[in-house]
Amino acid sequence: MTCGFHVASERQECLMHRSLFAERPSPYYILAPDYRRNSAGIRVLHMLCDALVRSGYEAYISAAVGNPRLMTPRLTNDVTALHKAQKIEPIIIYPEVVDGNPMGGNVVVRYLLNQPGFLRAVSPYDDNDILFSYTRELLQPGMAQDRVLYMPAVNISIFCPPTDPAQRIPGKICYYQGRQGTALIDPALLGPDSIEITPGSPASWEALAAVFQQCEFFYCSEPSGLAAEAALCGCVAVVIPSQYAPRPLSNHENNSYGVAWGNTPQAIETARQTLPLLRQSLLRHQENFWASLDHFIEVTQDAVVAYAQRPDKNQDAHWLAARQPNAVQRLLIDEYLKRSQVPVLGVVILDPDGELQRLNDTLESLAQHEGLPAILQPAVLTAADIPCDDKRVFRLDSLDTVATLNRVINEQAFDVFIIVRAGETFTAGGLLSAVLELTATPDCRAICADEVMRFEDGNLKLALRPDINLDLLLSFPACMARHWLLRRDVWQAMGGFATEFPAAFELEYILRMIETAGFEGLGHMSEPLVVGDVLLLEDNPQERAVIERHLRTRGFTAPQVNSRLPGRYEVDYGHAVAPAVSILILADGQLTYVQRCVDSLLENTGYGNYELLLLDRGNEDAAMCSWLSGIEQLGVGHLRVLRFPAGLSPEVIRNQAVEEARGEFLLFLDAGIGVLTGGWLEQLLNHAMRPEVGSVGAKLIAGDGTVRHAGLVLGSGGTVASPFARMPGDGDGYMQRLQVDQNYSALSGQCLMVRQELFAAVGGFDEELAPWADVDLCLKLQQAGYLNVWTPRVKLLIGESPAVEATPVQLDRLYQRWLPTLALDRAYNPNFSLAPERAFHVVESSLSWRPLSSFASLPTVLAHAAGEPDSARQRIVQPFNALREAGMLDGALSSQALSVVDIARYNPDVLLVQQYVNTEQLETLRQVKAFARCFKVFDLDLYLPNLSPKSPHYRLLPTDVLGALRQGLSHMDRLVVSTDFMAQVFDGFNADIRIVPTRLDPRDWEGLQGGRRCADKPRVGWVGSLHNIGELEMLANVIKELADEVDWVILGTCPAHLRPFIREHHDAVAVDAYPSKLASLNLDLALAPLEDTLFNRCKGNGRLLEFGACGVPVICSDIEAYRGDLPAKRVENRFDTWVDAIRAHVQDLDAAAALGDALQTCIRQDWMLNGVALAAWRDSWLGH
C-alpha cells in the first residue's frame, strides 16, 4: 500500500466473508475535503477510504480532488441514488469538525482527529453516533478503549535520515508557525539562515524531507504531523508551548519519541535519544492498524444490522416519536380544551376489501391519545361480513362508494371529518394538533395536514407539504389531495362529493372549494397526521377529467391535461392568443456567454411574437462593442440594443429598459442562459397568461447536468437558496417536486417572465434590495395576491457565475422588509431545516413541535448554549428543563447556532444565548435587536478573555474577547452572571445585570452519599479535566509529601510525573455518570485548589457543591470563587498551609466527616435547582 502501509493481502484473515451468497456489506461514505498533502487530518480520511477499499469494502469519498496513488472513488449523486434504489444503508463517516448530519445518514461514525470543538464549534453528537478517536488521547468520557483507529499517516520511505550524515548542518533550524501563520515563534530562537516551512512550501514531500535531513532542529508552535516527519528524518522536533500548542503531541501512541516539549536542554536531549524509537513505533502501529480497522469494520457493519432491526429504524420515525406533549403541556392542553368549544372530529374509514386487521389498526390508532376519544367519532364503511348498526358501522356499497359516503356523512353529527382507508393510522401528535388547530380556527372550510408514507419493510418517510399550492395540486394530486379535514356544514352546502368521480372525489371537492371562494378558509397544518402506504404513482383518468372540468369552470375554454410520468400531470391551458413578449438580456461583459445565449435563443425559439432587447451596460471591450454594433446594423426589428451608462445598477437598467419594451410580457434572461430545445417560450407563456399568475420561472441546469435553479426557498442560509442545487437534473426531488409544476414564493431572476402591467404595478426591481431584487419582485407579486409558478417543462442551460456577497446594509434591508415572510415560506414547510445543505430535511423536533402555539399559555424561551460543556449544561440546559417540567415556561433548546431567520421562525418571547462572541454570532445578535421582538438574555459564568488555552473553545474566541463581549452585550436586554464578582467585572457592559448562582440539579445529585474510612489510609481526592491540570500541578509537591500518609485518588486527567504517587487514577466518565462516579470514590477528603487569577475569581463554587452533595469535606483555596457561607476549610495557596490543613483533617476523620455532613446539609437545603432558586432562574430570563 502507498504512504508507508503494508499491503493488506499479507494478513492471514480477512473480515470480509467470501461466499457466493454472502450478504452485501454496507458501503462507507467519507465526508472529506480535497486531498492536500500538507494536512495530516485530510490525508488520514483519504487513506481510510483507501484502506477500506483494499480490505474488500465499498468506500467513497466526497472530495473532488484525490491522490492518484490512493483508491478513493468519488461519492457522486449517481452512487447515492443507486444505493438508495437498492435499499442499501450506507455508513457515513464524518471528521469531528462536521456539524450535524449533513448527509442525513442513519448510521453515523464520528472520527475524532482532534478534540471536538478544537478547530470549529460543533453541536453535541447524537446518542446513536458511533465515536472512534484517532489517538487514545482523544478518547471522550465514556468511550471504550477499543474505539481507537490510529493510522500512521507518514510515509517512512520518504521521511528517513539522510544517507550521508554529513548532510546535517549542526545548529540549523527549520520552523513552522501554523496553518494560518499566526502561531508566531520568538525570532530570538531562530538563526539567520533558518528555513520557514508553510502549508505550501516546500511543494513536495521529498523536498520537505530534504529540509528536515539538513536541519538539526525543527521548531513548531502549533500541533502538526510535521513534528513526526521531522523526527523520522533525524531532526529533533521542538514544540514551543503556547496558546496554539497547549499540550504535548502524540503522548499516547508514540510517547513523544523524537519530540521535545519546550526547548529546555533536558527535553531536547531526551528527544534526541529517542529519535530511533519513533520509526520502530510507527512500524508497529502500521502492523496493528489492520486489526484496528477490522474492529472498526465489525463495529460499524454491526451497527447497520442493529439499525435495521430497530422498531423505529429511521430518522423520520425517531422524529415522529418525539412529537408528544410532556406532562405539563398535556395538563395545559386539557385545561384549554375543557374551556373551549371543541369541534367533533369524524373519522370516516373506508374498508372496501373487508380487511378487518387493517381496519382494527386504524381504530386502535384513534385510541392512542388520552382524552381525545371523546372528541373523535369513527364511522366505518366496510365490505366485511360483520354486523352493521348503521350508527357507527355501515355496509359499503362497492358499486357506489361516493353515494354511500354522502349518505353516512349527512347522517352523522360531525363538525369536521376526514376520510381514511383501512390500514391507515393516525400519529398521536397529529391527532392532537388537528383538534387544537380546528378549535383555534372555527371559520376554516378545510385544512390539509402533512403525512407519513409507510414502505413494505415498515420504514417510514415523511411527506411534508407546502401550504395550499394550486399548481402542485393540479400537477400532482396524489401528493396533495388526500386526507383533508373538511367542515361538514360547508361540505353539505356544496352538495357533498360528486358521485361521478369515485376515483377522484376528494380532488374534485377541493377544486370546487377553490372555484367558489378561492383559497379563503383553506389552511395547512404542518404536522403529520396520517400514516399510509407509499404513494402509488399511476395515471388516473378521473383525475385528468376533474382537472379539465375545473379549468373550464374557471374560464379556460380548451384545456388539456397530459402526462409523461404516471400520476404527474402537465396542464396546457389552451390560450387562444399569442401575446408579444420582450426578452431582456443584460450584456455586461462575458461576450462568449452572451453570444451563446442569443444564438441558442434565435435557433430554438419557434414562437414568433417576441423581441430581443440587449441591454448594453457601458461595455468598453472592443469585441463586445463590435458584436453589439453588428446586431444593430442588422436592422432586424425584433433585435434591439439599448445603451446604458456603466454606473447604473442592473436593477435600474432593467427597469428603464422595460419602459422601451413593446411586449405585453417581459422575460428577464441571464446572459449565461442557453436555450436547449424548442417550445420553451410557449411553456412559460402557458402559465404567465393565467390571470392569477404573477411570474414564471424555469429549471436551470449547469453544464455538468445538475440543477442550479428549481425554485427558491425563503430563509435558507439566512436569506434564500435553491433547495435542489447540484442535484441531478433528471432527479425526482423531494416528493417528486423536481418533476412537476408548482408555486414558489420566489423564483430566480436568471429566467423570470412577468406581465409588464404587473411589473409596473408592484414597482419593478428595487435597487435597494440587491442582490435579492428578483426575490423582492416575486414577494411583492405574492403579496398582491398572485402566484409565482415554477415549471420543469422549460429546461435551460445556465453558465456558472460568481456568488455575490451581500453587505450587512443589504441584509438589513431584506430583513426590514421581508423577515416574517422569510421565516415562514408558504412553499416550504416549517418542519424543514433552513440550513442550505439540509433542504427538505427535518429540523430537530424541539424547534418545530409546539403543541401550545395555538393558545398562549406559557412564556416561550428559545435557548442556544454555545459555551463550555459544563457551563452550557448547568446554566442553560438544566435550568431550562427544570423550569419546563415545573410548568413555568415552554420553549426549545437548540443544539445549533441560530440565525435571525431561525429566531423569527420560532418567534419566542425570550432568546437566551451563551458565549456568543464570534463575528457571525455578534452579527446575529445585532440583527435580532434590530428586527425581532423577543427579550434577549445573555448568560455568562466564565471570564472568557482568560479562558484556558487547553479549553476546546479557546481557538474559537476572537482576538479581542472583551471587546466582543462589550459589543454583544450592547445588543442584549439583560446579562445574567453567576457571581457577585462577575457582576462587578462587567458593570457597565449592560444596563440590566442579574446574579443567579449555579446550582445542582437534584435529579443528578440528590440522595448521593460517599463511603468513609473505606481503606487503611484516608482517601484524599481531586477531580478535573485537561484544562484544570494547572490546579493539580499547584499541589504536586503536596502530593509527593503526603504520598505515604494518604491514598491519593484522581478522577480525570493526571500528569505522568505524578502517577507514581497516586493510589487510584480513574478516567473521566460521561456527564450523566459523573455524580454517581464521584460518590463512588468514597473520599474522606476532597481538595479544590484554584490559582488566584481574574478568571478563577469570576468562577462559581461548583466544585464545592459537587463534593458537598456527596458528603465529602473540602479543603479549598481561599479566593473569591470559594468564599461565602459554605462550611469548607479555606487555605492560602502555600505548600505548608495545604499540608497542614490536610494533615489536620486526616488525623481527625470524625471532625472531617462532621464538616462533610454540614456541607451536604447546606447544599441540599440551599443549593439545589428547585423551589425559590428555580423561580430566580425564571425571573432572570423573563422580561418582566
Any idea what the CATH number is for the domain that residue 722 is in?
3.90.550.10
- Phi and psi at 309, nearest 5°, equal -90, -5
Amino acid present at 472: L
d(CA 885, CA 223): 45
1013 and 973 both lie in a single domain:
no
Question: Taking 50 as the threshold, does the pLDDT of residue 13 lie above it?
Answer: no
The size of the chain, in residues, is 1184
d(CA 527, CA 664): 42
Question: CB atoms < 10 A from the CB of 919, how many?
Answer: 10
d(CA 228, CA 253): 12
Q: Is 1136 inside any structural domain?
A: yes
482 and 400 both lie in a single domain:
yes
Over residues 1071-1081, the pLDDT tens digits come to 888 999 999 99
Q: How confident is the model at residue 621 (pLDDT cuts 50, 70, 90)?
A: confident
Out of 57-61, 770-774, 798-802, 1014-1018, pick the least confident: 798-802
Q: Is 514 inside any structural domain?
A: yes
pLDDT of residue 618: 86
d(CA 546, CA 507): 7
Over residues 355-364, the pLDDT tens digits come to 999 999 999 9
**Which long-range contacts does 175-179 make (Cβ < 8 Å, 24+ apart)?**
175/218, 175/219, 175/220, 176/218, 176/219, 176/220, 176/221, 176/222, 176/224, 176/226, 177/220, 177/221, 177/222, 178/220, 178/221, 178/222, 178/224, 178/244, 179/222
Question: Taking 60 as the threshold, does the pLDDT of residue 6 lie above it?
Answer: no
Per-residue pLDDT averaged across 986-996, rounded? 96
Mean pLDDT of the chain: 91
Closest CA to 37 of 162, 213, 159, 163: 159
Out of 34-48, 431-445, 670-684, 1106-1120, pick the least confident: 34-48
589 and 568 both lie in a single domain:
no
Per-residue pLDDT averaged across 393-404, rounded? 90
pLDDT of residue 632: 86
SS3 (DSSP) at 812:
helix
d(CA 198, CA 180): 9
pLDDT of residue 441: 93
d(CA 957, CA 1138): 35
Question: Taking 60 as the threshold, does the pLDDT of residue 12 lie above it?
Answer: no
Q: Is 489 inside any structural domain?
A: yes
d(CA 1000, CA 1002): 6
pLDDT of residue 45: 96
CB–CB of 1010/1115 below 8 Å? no
CA 1103 centroid distance within chain: 34
Q: Is 350 inside any structural domain?
A: yes
pLDDT of residue 450: 97
Out of 497-501, 763-767, 1002-1006, 1029-1033, pick the least confident: 1029-1033
793 and 726 both lie in a single domain:
yes
Strand partners, 35: none
1078 and 1049 both lie in a single domain:
yes
Measured distance between the N- and C-terminal CA atoms of the chain, rounded to whole angstroms: 67
Out of 328-332, 903-907, 984-988, pick the least confident: 328-332
d(CA 1049, CA 1043): 11
Q: In this predicted model, which residue has the larger pLDDT, 19 or 666?
A: 666
Question: CB atoms < 10 A from the CB of 1127, how many?
Answer: 18
Per-residue pLDDT averaged across 114-123, rounded? 76
Out of 143-152, 240-249, 494-503, 927-936, pick the least confident: 240-249
SS3 (DSSP) at 936:
strand
pLDDT of residue 684: 98
d(CA 753, CA 747): 10
H or E segment and range at residue 693: strand 693-701
977 and 1012 both lie in a single domain:
no
Q: Is 875 inside any structural domain?
A: yes
pLDDT of residue 14: 43
Q: In this predicted model, which residue has the larger pLDDT, 590 or 278?
A: 278
- Phi and psi at 163, nearest 5°, equal -65, -30
Pick left, alpha or beta for residue 625 (phi over 0 → left; psi -120 to 50 → alpha; otherwise beta): alpha
Question: Taking 70 as the threshold, does the pLDDT of residue 47 lie above it?
Answer: yes
d(CA 511, CA 601): 37
Cell numbers at 329, concatenated: 403541556
Strand partners, 674: 797
CB–CB of 657/649 below 8 Å? no
Q: Is 108 inside any structural domain?
A: no
Cα 1138 to Cα 173, 1065, 1142: the distances in Å are 44, 21, 6
Per-residue pLDDT averaged across 116-144, rounded? 84
pLDDT of residue 869: 80
Per-residue pLDDT averaged across 785-802, rounded? 94
874 and 960 both lie in a single domain:
yes
Per-residue pLDDT averaged across 329-334, rounded? 90
Owner of C-alpha cell 389498526: 361
714 and 747 both lie in a single domain:
yes
Which regions of 198-318 does DSSP assign to beta strands (E)? 217-220, 236-239, 259-261
1103 and 1129 both lie in a single domain:
yes
- Phi and psi at 110, nearest 5°, equal -105, 115
d(CA 231, CA 240): 15
Question: Taking 80 as the threshold, does the pLDDT of residue 948 lie above it?
Answer: no
Per-residue pLDDT averaged across 1162-1174, rounded? 95
Question: Taking 60 as the threshold, does the pLDDT of residue 251 lie above it?
Answer: no
- Phi and psi at 501, nearest 5°, equal -125, 65
Q: Output b/e per residue, 1098-1126; b: 16+ Cβ within 10 A.
A: bbbbbbbbbbbbbbbbbbbbebbbbbeeb
Q: Is 433 inside any structural domain?
A: yes
Per-residue pLDDT averaged across 610-622, rounded? 91
1078 and 958 both lie in a single domain:
no
pLDDT of residue 638: 87
d(CA 259, CA 7): 29
SS3 (DSSP) at 1022:
strand
Closest CA to 567 of 496, 647, 663, 477: 477
DSSP string, 462-489: EE---SS-HHHHHH-HHHHSSSEEEEHH
Q: Is 83 inside any structural domain?
A: no
pLDDT of residue 8: 39
Question: Taking 80 as the threshold, does the pLDDT of residue 230 lie above it?
Answer: yes
How many distinct structural domains can be found in the chain? 5
Residue 958's CATH number: 3.40.50.2000
877 and 958 both lie in a single domain:
yes
1048 and 1145 both lie in a single domain:
yes
Question: Taking 90 as the threshold, does the pLDDT of residue 250 lie above it?
Answer: no
d(CA 818, CA 58): 47
Domain boundary among 995, 1015, 1042: 995
Question: CB atoms < 10 A from the CB of 946, how many?
Answer: 13
Cα 705 to Cα 31, 672, 678, 734, 791: the distances in Å are 22, 15, 19, 18, 17
Q: How confident is the model at residue 1 (pLDDT cuts 50, 70, 90)?
A: very low
Q: How confident is the model at residue 952 (pLDDT cuts 50, 70, 90)?
A: low
Amino acid present at 288: N
Q: How confident is the model at residue 1055 (pLDDT cuts 50, 70, 90)?
A: confident
Its domain, for residue 927, covers 858-995
Cα 992 to Cα 185, 805, 859, 929, 1072: the distances in Å are 43, 36, 20, 16, 34
Percent of residues, the chain, with pLDDT higher than 70? 96
